[in-house]
Amino acid sequence: MASLTIRLHPADNVVVAGADLPEGTALPDTGVVARTAIPSGHKVAVQAIAVGEPVRKYNQVIGFATAPIAPGDHVHVHNIGVGDSFERDYAFGADAHATDLVPEAERATFQGIVRPDGRVATRNYIGILTTVNCSATAARMIADQFRGNALAAYPNIDGVVALTHSYGCGMGSQGDAIDALRRTIAGYARHPNFAAVLVLGLGCEVNQIDKLVEVEGLTVGDTLQTLAIQESGGTAATVRASVERIRALLPRVNDVTRETVPASHLILALQCGGSDGYSGITANPALGHAVDLLIRNGGTAVLSETPEVYGAEHLLTRRAVSPAVGGTLVERIRWWEDYTSRTGGEMNNNPSPGNKKGGLTTILEKSLGAVAKAGTTNLVEVVRYAEPITGPGLVFMDTPGYDPVSATGQVAGGANVLCFTTGRGSVFGCKPTPSLKLATNTALFRKMPDDMDIDCGPIATGDATIEEVGRAIFQLILDTASGRKTKSEELGFGSDEFTPWQMGAVM
């Protein structure tokens, strides 16, 4: 049954119109009547709010009343604002609170693959990574030899995947850019979802294999092998040698079994892309509820996409477990300001005229739409792009907003499941980590049935609550981590989405 309004949290003093509401419409479950027409997606007050009092949506402050607001009033730019003092006050930890952990004995579990070092994998791949674009074709040729029925005798291997990129030369041999590239490659090399990795180089590139191994403290051996084409007799000889090496690994890589492990071994990457007006009221808050469940069960989630938080980083600093954690986030924000001023990018996350027309009033509210997918727990850690994610709890990784670049950093950091909310219909996979697609609206879910894993649209029509969909997402995360294939895995996505952040000038 369709509902006229969406309440994003029981403690909110506004609700969102799920359709254009004529003046005089009775708002369900509130005893309140709309005092003017309320356009779809816009907010209407369900309590009186005095001047200076906070307006709450997602149980978070999206602004303060600048005029007296009566129940049933349209709440928008004419009667709320952010306020200067709020804007300047990072209030580290002001909203932090103890996490309501589920008792150990009752915690959720999944069927994972426990690696020799105790880390837990959700998939079992062999990876071919490249130092430079020049070894990309050879890497793909090697992976090609393991397509079709080549792995039929090894049912526990999910595949041999080549993750190539366009970078690695024509760049400085030191500095932020090569550091980030090295972290990314090393993060994948260490990822528990890879049982074994071959790092393939050309030989004369700036991003030298030996230096990568040394700087990142990687250990070369059976499960991390390296090869350079120029030292191996050229392309054909390198491909032959690599295929032989990988064939020799197959029996051992196949020799794994899944066992019951606690959900605390999950590191969930959060993404949104191709957002629409429903993102902030259906899929993102539903994913946020799933994240709260995961973290209450001892797990970890990682929020990213710094440009989409920009200007509203207060939302996160107030939840930081310590001034140090909050301060690291602020430092990353400052880095972006400098970076974009130098490189001609634009940092402006303010609601656009279109956003405002759709009902988004303040920069806090707009960012909350994105941040809602991270739930309500404390921010425990802030890491740089592709750095290892420790957790447990909610972690922020500094990344661009561009989906493949952002997700590549998260997977490099150790994410072993990914949830991607989308309103327009993103198609995204990120081997070796399974990627779930959460549709913000039912029309999309029906239009792209082979790509979308779950429909969050029923929240908008009142046919499901945020909590109900959030629980379904959490269960799907557990099932996926246990081996259930995502839509993007069934289709074969995940090789071409590996996109390390190219931070410097191409020379």
- CB nearer to Ca ion: pick between 377 and 422: 422
In the list a second copy, Ca ion, none, the entry touching 185 (Cβ below 5 to 8 angstroms by class) is: none
Burial class (CB in 10 A: 0-12, 13-18, 19+), 256: middle
Closest approach, Cβ 170 to a second copy, in A, equals 2
Minimum CB separation of residue 304 from a second copy in Å reads 12
Cβ nearer to Ca ion, comparing 45 with 139 = 139
Q: How far is the CB of 129 from a second copy (least distance, A)?
A: 14
Please tell me the distance from the alpha carbon of residue 406 to that of residue 402, in angstroms, as a whole number: 6
* 53: helix, strand or coil: coil
DSSP conformational letter for 73: -
* Identity of the residue, 138 or 476, whose beta carbon is nearer to a second copy in the bound complex: 138
Q: State the Cα angle at 494 between 488 and 496, rounded to 5°.
A: 130
Cβ contact 191:124 at 8 Å: no
Q: Which of residues 359, 401, 413, 457 is near Ca ion by CB under 5 A?
A: 401
Name the residue type at position 421. Answer: T
Q: How far is the CB of 176 from a second copy (least distance, A)?
A: 8
Pair of tokens at residue 447: 């239009």
| From 176-184, 375-383, 401-409, 428-436, span contacting Ca ion (CB under 5 A) | 401-409
Contact of residue 172 among a second copy, Ca ion, none (CB under 5-8 Å per partner type) = a second copy
Contacts of 346 (CB under 8 A, 6+ apart): 340
User: By C-beta, is 27 or 419 nearer to Ca ion?
Assistant: 419
Mention every residue, 6+ apart, whose C-beta is less than 8 A from residue 76. 42, 43, 356, 359, 361
Q: Distances in Å between the alpha carbon of 479 and those of 71, 112, 210, 429, 434?
A: 43, 10, 39, 17, 11
C-alpha distances out from residue 271 to 220, 277, 305, 430, 505, Å: 32, 16, 8, 12, 26
Classify burial at 338, counting beta carbons within 10 Å of its beta carbon; exposed 0-12, middle 13-18, buried 19 or more. exposed
Instruction: Identify which of residues 156 and 166 has a Cβ nearer to a second copy in the complex.
Output: 166
428 binds, among a second copy, Ca ion, none (CB under 5 to 8 A by kind): a second copy
E-strand spans in 348-473? Answer: 379-383, 393-397, 417-422, 435-439, 454-455
First-to-last alpha carbon distance for the chain, in angstroms, is: 59
Nearer to a second copy, 115 or 140 (CB): 140
The site partner of 169 among Ca ion, a second copy, none (C-beta below 5 to 8 Å per kind) is: a second copy
- Closer Cβ to Ca ion, 5 or 275, answer by number: 275
In the complex, minimum distance from the CB of residue 251 to a second copy, in angstroms, rounded to a whole number: 28
Min dist. Cβ of residue 502 to a second copy (A): 6
Please give the biggest Cα pair distance in the chain. Answer: 80
Q: Per residue in 375-399, is it b (16+ CB within 10 Å) or e — as a string?
A: bbbbbbbbbbbbbebebbbbbbbbb
Q: Which does 313 bind (CB under 5 to 8 A by kind): a second copy, Ca ion, none?
A: none
* 307 CB-side CA count, 13 A: 18
Q: Which is nearer to Ca ion, 381 or 403 (CB)?
A: 403
289-318: which residues touch Ca ion (CB under 5 A)? 305, 308
> Which of Ca ion, a second copy, none binds 272 (CB below 5-8 Å, type-dependent)?
Ca ion
Task: Please give the Cα distance from 199 to 213 (Å, whole number).
Answer: 10
Please report whether residue 403 would count as binding Ca ion according to CB under 5 A: yes
| Binding status of residue 273 toward Ca ion by CB under 5 A | yes
Scan for tokens 């990627």, then name that residue.
435
CB-wise, 228 or 380, nearer to a second copy? 228
What, of a second copy, Ca ion, none, does residue 53 touch, CB below 5 to 8 Å by kind?
Answer: none
Candidate ranges 63-71, 90-98, 213-221, 266-274; the one touching Ca ion (CB under 5 A) = 266-274
The least distance separating a second copy from the CB of residue 395, rounded to whole angstroms, comes to 21
* Shortest distance in whole angstroms from residue 222 CB to a second copy: 27
What minimum distance in Å lies between the beta carbon of 308 and a second copy?
10
Residue from 199, 243, 253, 272 binding Ca ion (CB under 5 A): 272
Residues forming the site for Ca ion (CB under 5 A): 272-273, 305, 308, 401, 403
